[in-house]
Each structure stands twice: as C-alpha cells, then as structure tokens.
Structure 1
Amino acid sequence: MKSHPNKHIQEAIEYALSKGWVWVPAGKSAHCFCKLRCGDKSGEHTSHHRSVWSTPDVPEHHATQIRQAVDQCGRIKSQMSKK
C-alpha cells in the first residue's frame, strides 16, 4: 500500500484500516488515490465504502469525511458496543 501525500488523509486511511476496513487500489481513475470499503466478509455491509481522492480541495475536510464514514458503519458500532 502506498501512502497518501497528505498527512491528514494518510492518518484517516490508517484509522479506517485499524477499524477493519480494506484498502482497494484505485484502478484507472486519475483522481482517485484508493478506495476504502468495510471489511465485512459476509457481504452485509456492501454499501459502506469511500473513495479517497488524490488532491481534494480541503484535505482536512476530506480526512474528516473518511473518519465519519468509518464511524457510521454499523459493523464498527456493534463491535464497539460488545467491548
């Protein structure tokens, strides 16, 4: 996995990975750095994913959006409530 040039976005990517999300290569998109998706193997959470842009207008805001997407994932919330 390559690292994002912006430290705020890289920290958000690492946060998502620490919560069980999966890093997916961007493919042929020139603007997309990578994609993050919920790592639920049952396929129950297929709608939880987020594109990570290479050069967003406001990197700090984009990093916040990534963290919010991870935090709003029902799978993550259910794991946290079991602890």
Structure 2
Amino acid sequence: MKKHPNKHIQEAIEYALSKGWVWVPPGHSAHCFCKLRCGNPEGEHRDHQMSVWSTPKNAENHAMQIIRNVNHCL
C-alpha cells in the first residue's frame, strides 16, 4: 500500500484501516488514490465504501469525510 502525499488524508486512511476498513487499489481512474471499503465481518456494511482522491480541493475536509464515513459504520 502506497502512502498518500497529504498527511491529513494519510492519517484518515490509517484510522480507517485501524477500524477494519480495507484498502482497495484504485483501478483505472487517474484521480482516485484508492478506495476504502468497510470490512465488517458480519457483512451488514459491505456496500459502504468511498473513493480517496489524489488531489481533493480541500484535503482537510476530505480527511474529515473519510473519518465520518468510518465512524458511521461503527
């Protein structure tokens, strides 16, 4: 897994991973850094995922959005 160049977003990714979310490679999108998918073993949140952008307009807001999505699944 590569590291995101923005420290706020990287910390949010690490937070998601610590809560059981799974890092998914970006595929073919040039703007998507990776995808994060809820890794709930019970399967009830398998549809919860989000794209992490390489260069979002506001990196700190994007990092907070990642954390909010992770906390929503707890």
Q: Which residue of 2 aligns with 1:3?
A: 3
The answer for unaligned runs of 5 or more in structure 1 is 77-83
What amino acid maps onto 1:40 in structure 2? N
Q: Which residue of 2 aligns with 1:32?
A: 32
Q: TM-score, normalised by structure 1?
A: 0.85
The answer for unaligned runs of 5 or more in structure 2 is none
What amino acid maps onto 2:35 in structure 1? K
Distance 1:34 1:56 in 2: 13
Distance 1:15 1:41 in 2: 18
Q: Which residue of 2 aligns with 1:65?
A: 65
What amino acid maps onto 2:2 in structure 1? K
| Larger helix fraction of residues | 1
Q: Which residue of 2 aligns with 1:49?
A: 49
Aligned length: 74
2:20 matched to 1:17?
no
What amino acid maps onto 2:22 in structure 1? V
What is the SS of the residue equivalent to 1:66?
A: helix
Distance 2:65 2:45 in 1: 18
